[in-house]
Structure 1
Amino acid sequence: MCAPLHAHTFRTVAMRCQTCGDETSPAYDECQRCATPLGLPAVLPGRPTYPVCGVGLAAAVAVGAATLSYLPGALFPLVGMRVAQSAAARRDGDLLLGALVAEGLFAVLYMVALLVAGVLVIIWTWRVRRNLDAFPGALPSLGPAWAIAGWLVPFANLVVPARVLANVARDSLWRRRTPPLVALWWAAWLLFLAADATINKLDNDRYVELAETPRSRAEFAAYVDHYQRALGPRLVPALVCLVAGASFVVLIRRISAAQQDRLAKATPTWPAWPAPPGWPAHPGWVGHPGWPAGAVPAYPVQPVTGVSPQVAEDPSATSPQVPPGSGGTIGA
């Protein structure tokens, strides 16, 4: 006679999350670390995903290059003062024109680097946002189209990119709240845009008041004073630019590494190409977490009901011999 079963004889078997590997509890519907629903894979099968390590590295390098290319223009007043002093000593206004051309070249270099970085960042942003659609438990609030339009639409580009990256960072880095690095990056970026635009306007307004062709000592001294006054304010956007660029590079690298690691855990999907009847389906198909309930393989296994008609039932039987006819053998 079987002994009665008691509640203490049962023991809950802990399962591990397929995304982060932590033990899960049946008391919750999702992993408490990465928010993946229980029983679901790290990546939903059949959903399109995109590699992000390569484009992420390119975007990080481009952002770093654009950040560094801003510094020569920001610190150019140091060079401008030396050139203005030399021009005053020689009474040569062409030197001042050369300084203006050099400053313009630094500005063009920065704009080209910023354009390249912008294109790569938009591509990377779209890919990491698109991958969220294949991550169980991810809850992005904006669609993938905003990963592109958010950078390009006026006024929306002051808010939308931060919201998209906040979603991506939370769902990629397994955070319940937006990582502080996102807030630091976006606040520094907005402050940089405002400070750079304001200071450039003030510099241009003061520069147009200078003599176009200086001749007297006072007119040359005005150029020296202009560059001296421009140096201090320009240090503000330069410092903020470094903070924004460095934090964004770190953010890109962390998100790219986290998403690529999760994509590596995806169970490979096998195409349902036609095959001869009787061939078994790939063992990785049936029972896959993403396999639809009640679905059958593309070519089900045919049951063997008898002996193949090509094989005789008697294992000792031999093929019948053809009787020789006239001229049928050599030497006949």
Structure 2
Amino acid sequence: MLCRTCGDTLSPVAPECPRCDGPQDRRAVLPGLPTYRVRGIGLAASIAVGATAGVFLLTALLPLLGWALAERAAAERRFEPLLGQVLAELVGSLLFVLAYVTAAVLVIIWSWRARKNTDAFPGALPTLGAGWAIAGWLVPFANFVVPARVVAGIARDSLPRRRAPALVAVWWAAWLLFSFGERIVAQVEQRRSAGLAEDPVTSADFQAYADHYRDILAVRLAPAVAGLVAAVAFAVLVRRISVAQQDRIGRGTPAWPVIPGMTLPPGAAGHPLPVVTPSPQVTAPHTPVSPPVPPVAGGTIGA
């Protein structure tokens, strides 16, 4: 016999599942509550998050190009080579914004669906409503804590072990380092670039550009690494949660058509099979019918 919650093998003598601590008679999914597919949207969200981290890493390495172009500009005593770095930074910024917005939308959709699914899981104890899966990312200051609490609750109510995995803490810590680090890097770059000559002429002017790109490279790499860690941790979390939810929903969904009003058999939603007692056939009483009387001549008017 398998547990309807986590799918593990149950002991015939134990009242609860040794893996998820759920009672043996607990349903997999509550009937009448909507559930949503999360594997596809979870995969799309993971790819978008990974693409965002990858684009940011590429932009973090762009100072290498700027360093080389600054050396070339110093050798040729021309400012034009440095325009290539400006164009590369612009393209990188546009790609990052596009990937970031796409990832944000997909992550919010997945979080909302996964959170709504836990409403249909018996034994789940959510601490935040499904609306916080959306608002938690958008409300200022709340977005420092709420998304992590939402995902931790989803993981706790979806995975076999009744606790949030440590991977949630790794993901959120890396995400905060990435978010704050990105802003700090932007401020540092703006402050340092203010001292560069707008129209470099001397060797010292070009050397200042080369030194600027060399120093910025080390500053940019720190949030880039944090972003990669956050992306990998989030992808693993999404996969584990999505697989667990889809498997549980599958165990609670009957493999036959369900007609409204019918009683579901065991395994579908924990309902017993209806006991149908055939009613005895009732034979209608035989009503004798008199034989027809043959017509007699003169029995009718005008005969």
Match of 1:330 in 2: none
Matched, 1:187 2:181: no
Note the 1:145-164 alignment, pairs <5 A: 145-164=131-150
Matches of 1:232 and 1:61, distance apart in 2: 27
Matched, 1:118 2:94: no
| Aligned-residue offset at 1:31 | 3.2
Note the 1:226-265 alignment, pairs <5 A: 226-265=212-251
Match of 1:216 in 2: 202
- Cα gap change, 1:171 to 1:215, in 2 (>3 Å): same
Question: For 1:54, which of 1, 25, 40 is the aligned residue?
Answer: 40
Matched, 1:17 2:7: no
Q: Secondary structure at the match of 1:134?
A: coil
| Aligned-residue offset at 1:122 | 0.4
Question: For 2:80, which of 94, 105, 110 is the aligned residue?
Answer: 94
- 1:193-219 C-alpha deviation (Å, 9 max, x unpaired): 111111111011111221111111111
Note the 1:249-288 alignment, pairs <5 A: 249-268=235-254, 270-272=258-260, 284=264
Matched, 1:202 2:182: no
Paired letter, 2:8: G
Contact 1:270 1:285 in 2 (8 A): no
Identity of aligned residues (%): 51
Matches of 2:228 and 2:269, distance apart in 1: 46
| Aligned-residue offset at 1:18 | 2.0
Match of 2:298 in 1: none
Match of 1:79 in 2: 65
- Cα gap change, 1:287 to 1:90, in 2 (>3 Å): closer
Instruction: Mark the runs of 5 or more structure 2 residues left unpaired by the alignment.
Output: 288-303
Matches of 2:284 and 2:193, distance apart in 1: 96
Matches of 2:236 and 2:284, distance apart in 1: 65
Matches of 1:286 and 1:171, distance apart in 2: 23
- 1:113-168 C-alpha deviation (Å, 9 max, x unpaired): 01101100100000111100111111111111111111111111110010011111
- 1:17-43 C-alpha deviation (Å, 9 max, x unpaired): 322233257775x53422434412211
TM-score (norm 2): 0.85
TM-score (norm 1): 0.78
Question: For 1:70, which of 42, 46, 56 is the aligned residue?
Answer: 56
- Cα gap change, 1:288 to 1:112, in 2 (>3 Å): closer
Instruction: Mark the runs of 5 or more structure 1 residues left unpaired by the alignment.
Output: 1-14, 274-280, 314-332
- Cα gap change, 1:185 to 1:165, in 2 (>3 Å): same
Paired letter, 2:259: P
Contact 2:4 2:252 in 1 (8 A): no
Matches of 1:160 and 1:255, distance apart in 2: 18
Match of 1:41 in 2: 27
Q: Using CA pairs below 8 Å that are at least 6 residues apart, which structure has the higher relative contact order? A: 2
Matched, 1:31 2:17: yes
| Aligned-residue offset at 1:60 | 1.1
Count of residue pairs the alignment pairs up: 283
| Aligned-residue offset at 1:289 | 4.8
| Aligned-residue offset at 1:304 | 5.6
When structure 1 is superposed on structure 2, of 190-199 and 90-99 the one drifting more is: 90-99
Question: For 1:137, which of 98, 123, 128 is the aligned residue?
Answer: 123
Contact 1:31 1:37 in 2 (8 A): yes
Contact 1:141 1:167 in 2 (8 A): yes
